[in-house]
């Protein structure tokens, strides 16, 4: 009898989840849902009129170093305060909540409305909501819509071609943005890790400078082809994953094995580059991390002899000369043995292959302000580089 009751409940629950207009849960005053792109909420329980407990589970049981993404929306029948306990039973609370009234403009929740427990398995948040709704999310929502709008803007740029280089596990397109064919190639990858939104924000700023109408950018594009894959893991982003794709794989550990359609798409793209005799010269892979409050760049160590030689040191030094009030970290590391993008591109092509990391909670205005400096100095130094090895 108990089993039967549970089954009936399960059917009712799944029926509710399927109806788009139904909230995930509600009481007399509040309704909570998470049906948007990147939405993530697993359990919801009202404890009192103005108190709710929300549970977030990791995306699958293979994800390691688990930390939890969360993203939901609350509406109230009239302006009211709600206290929310966010629970992460199999993860920890890496992200400080971001709040939005429209799903587009976000602010970091004030220090005095958030409490994190010392073991980081839960977090408390107090917010005021009204009938227009409030979004609460681990990071700003940068979803497929953002990329679609960006691709649409780029379509009017006469030098740029966009195409689909493959499909994800759940059949979402993997988009490529490219400039005209030149003998040398610079590769930029983004969003292998879906939760790493600050990396996506920086990548957008960075790419906009490379595609800009400045003398430096035009000269750069005369010599180098840009191959840009801004959203390598569209399923992870759509489903509100922290790290994996829909195949339960960390795509940044699949460079070599190539077991997933997303990494296979980029590998096919690079095979095409090789076939045409074009030479990759630099790879930048955009991520975010809890390890820094600003930015950190994981590069090859000087003894690893990339070509162009000592690119990373020259780049970091040049940027450092222009930015005196913002500390960022250059962290050179020997190949680690992990099947990540950095190791793959370095070992395959001998080029500088750099993980470009933005701090989870980095000041967004400063990221926006300083990213163009990184883009400009990258172009300048690449333009000084000698020809590729043949
Ligand atoms: Zn990452």
Q: What is the pLDDT along the chain (390 residues), one digit of tens a residue?
A: 344 334 334 433 444 444 445 789 999 999 999 999 999 999 999 999 999 999 999 999 898 766 789 999 999 999 999 999 999 998 888 899 999 999 999 999 999 999 987 678 999 999 999 999 999 999 999 999 999 999 999 988 999 999 999 999 999 999 999 999 999 999 999 999 999 999 999 999 999 999 999 999 999 999 999 999 999 999 999 999 999 999 999 999 999 999 999 999 999 999 999 999 999 999 999 999 999 999 999 999 999 999 999 999 999 999 999 998 999 999 999 999 999 999 999 999 999 999 999 999 999 999 999 999 999 999 999 999 998 976
Residue 34 domain-assigned (yes or no): yes
| Dist. CA 389 → ligand 1 center (Å) | 30
Q: What is the CATH number of the domain that holds 330?
A: 3.40.630.10
Q: What is the pLDDT of residue 40?
A: 93
Residue 168 DSSP class:
-
249 and 345 share a domain? Answer: yes
45-75 pLDDT per residue, tens: 999 999 999 999 999 989 876 678 999 999 9
Q: What is the model's pLDDT at position 65?
A: 61
Of the three residues 85, 118, 137, the one that is the final residue of a domain is 137
Look at strands 295-299 and 279-289 and give their pairing: unpaired
By the 8 A CB rule, do 30 and 17 touch?
Answer: no
Does residue 347 share a domain with residue 225? Answer: yes
- Measured CA to CA, the distance from residue 201 to residue 367 in angstroms comes to 8
- Whether residues 131 and 149 share a domain: the answer is no
Going through 278-342 in order, the beta strands assigned E by DSSP cover 279-289, 295-299, 329-332
Same domain, 172 and 224: yes
> Are residues 171 and 105 located together in one domain of the fold?
no
Q: Cβ neighbours of residue 304 under 8 Å, at least 6 residues apart?
A: 334, 335, 346
133: left (phi over 0), alpha (psi -120 to 50) or beta: left
Domain final residue pick, 103, 137, 171: 137
Distance 110 CA to ligand 1 centre (A): 26
Is the domain of 47 the same as that of 165?
A: no
Residue 44 lies in a domain: yes
For residue 112, the CA-to-ligand 1 centroid distance in Å is 29
Note whether 94 and 34 are same-domain residues.
yes
Task: Please tell me whether residues 54 and 181 are part of one structural domain.
Answer: no
Enclosing domain of residue 209: 144-384
Does residue 336 belong to any structural domain of this protein? Answer: yes
Residues 152-171: tens digit of each pLDDT: 999 889 999 999 999 999 99
Three-state SS across 48-89? ECCEEEEECCCCCCCCCCCECCCEEEEEECCCEEEEEEEECC
Taking the centre of ligand 1 as the mean of its atom positions, its distance from the CA of residue 373, in whole angstroms, is 22
Query: 49 and 189: one domain?
Result: no
State the distance from the centre of ligand 1 to the C-alpha of 193, rounded, in angstroms: 5
121 lies in a domain? yes
| Distance of CA 364 from the midpoint of ligand 1 (Å) | 18
Question: 17 with 6: CB under 8 angstroms?
Answer: no
8 A C-beta contact, residue 159 and residue 221: yes
Which is nearest to 26 in space by CA: 87, 72, 93?
Answer: 72
Pick the closest to residue 258 from 242, 247, 274, 272 (CA basis): 247
Total structural domains within the chain? 2
């Amino acid at each position: 009898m108990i089993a039967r009751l549970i089954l009936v409940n399960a059917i009712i629950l799944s029926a509710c989840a399927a109806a788009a207009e139904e909230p995930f849960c509600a009481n007399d005053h509040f309704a909570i849902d998470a049906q948007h792109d990147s939405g993530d909420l697993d359990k919801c329980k009202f404890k009192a009129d103005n108190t709710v407990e929300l549970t977030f589970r990791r995306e699958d049981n293979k994800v390691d170093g688990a930390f939890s993404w969360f993203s939901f929306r609350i509406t109230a029948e009239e302006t009211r305060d709600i206290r929310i306990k966010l629970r992460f039973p199999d993860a920890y609370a890496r992200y400080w909540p971001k709040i939005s009234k429209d799903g587009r403009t976000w602010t970091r929740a004030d220090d005095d409305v958030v409490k994190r427990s010392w073991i980081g398995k839960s977090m408390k948040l107090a917010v005021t909501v009204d009938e227009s709704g409030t979004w609460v999310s681990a990071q700003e929502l940068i979803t497929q819509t953002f990329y679609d709008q960006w691709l649409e803007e780029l379509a009017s740029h006469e030098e740029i071609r966009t195409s689909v280089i493959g499909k994800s596990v759940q059949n979402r397109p993997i988009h490529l943005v490219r400039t005209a064919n030149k003998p040398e190639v610079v590769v930029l990858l983004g969003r292998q890790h879906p939760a790493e939104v600050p990396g996506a924000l920086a990548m957008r700023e960075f790419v906009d400078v490379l595609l800009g109408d400045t003398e430096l950018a035009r000269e750069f594009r005369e010599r180098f082809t840009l191959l840009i894959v801004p959203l390598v893991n569209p399923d992870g982003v759509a489903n509100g994953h922290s790290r994996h794709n829909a195949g339960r794989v960390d795509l940044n550990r699949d460079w070599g094995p190539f077991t997933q359609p997303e990494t296979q798409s980029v590998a096919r793209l690079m095979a095409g580059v090789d076939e045409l005799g074009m030479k990759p010269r630099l790879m930048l892979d955009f991520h975010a991390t809890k390890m820094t409050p600003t930015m950190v760049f994981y590069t090859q160590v000087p003894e690893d002899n990339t070509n162009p030689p000592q690119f990373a040191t020259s780049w970091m030094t040049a940027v450092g000369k222009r930015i005196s009030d913002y500390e960022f970290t250059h962290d050179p590391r020997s190949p680690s043995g992990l099947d990540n993008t950095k190791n793959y591109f370095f070992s395959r092509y001998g080029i500088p292959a750099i993980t470009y990391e933005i701090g989870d909670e980095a000041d967004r205005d400063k990221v926006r302000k300083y990213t163009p400096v990184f883009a400009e100095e990258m172009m300048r130094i690449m333009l000084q580089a000698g020809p590729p090895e043949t």
